[in-house]
Amino acid sequence: MTLQEALPLIIPIIILEWTLAIVALIHVLKHPHYQFGNKPMWIIVVLFIQIIGPVVYFIFGRGRDI
C-alpha cells in the first residue's frame, strides 16, 4: 500500500486526533476542577499523548462542572 492509497484512511484519523486534542485542551484551560492532577499535567497529557491523551482526560480527569 502506497502513501497515496493510504491517505483516505489517514486523513480522517488526523482530523479526529486534532479535533479531540483541541476540544480537550479548551476544556482543560476553561475548567479549574479535575478529578485528579492539575492543569499543567493535563495540558501535557492532552497535547503529547495523541489520541489517547484527550480520551483519558475526558474519562478520568474531567471534574464535575459546577
Residue 40 resides in a domain: yes
Considering the domain boundaries, does residue 41 fall inside one? yes
Per-residue pLDDT of the chain (66 residues; tens, 9 = 90+): 788 888 899 999 899 899 999 998 998 898 888 877 888 998 898 888 877 888 888 888 876 655
> Which of 47, 51, 43, 44 has the alpha carbon at shortest distance from 17?
51
Is there a domain that residue 46 lies in? yes
Scored b (16 or more CB within 10 A) or e, 17-44 reads: eeebbeebbebbeebeebeeeeeeebbe
Instruction: Examine residue 6 and state whether it is found in any structural domain, yes or no.
Output: no
Query: How many structural domains are present in the chain?
Result: 1
Q: Can you read off the three cell numbers belonging to residue 18?
A: 486534532
Q: CA 47: distance to chain centroid?
A: 7
* 52 belongs to a structural domain: yes
Answer yes or no: is 44 within a domain: yes
Residue 4 in domain: no
Q: Which domain holds residue 40?
A: 12-61
Residue 43 resides in a domain: yes
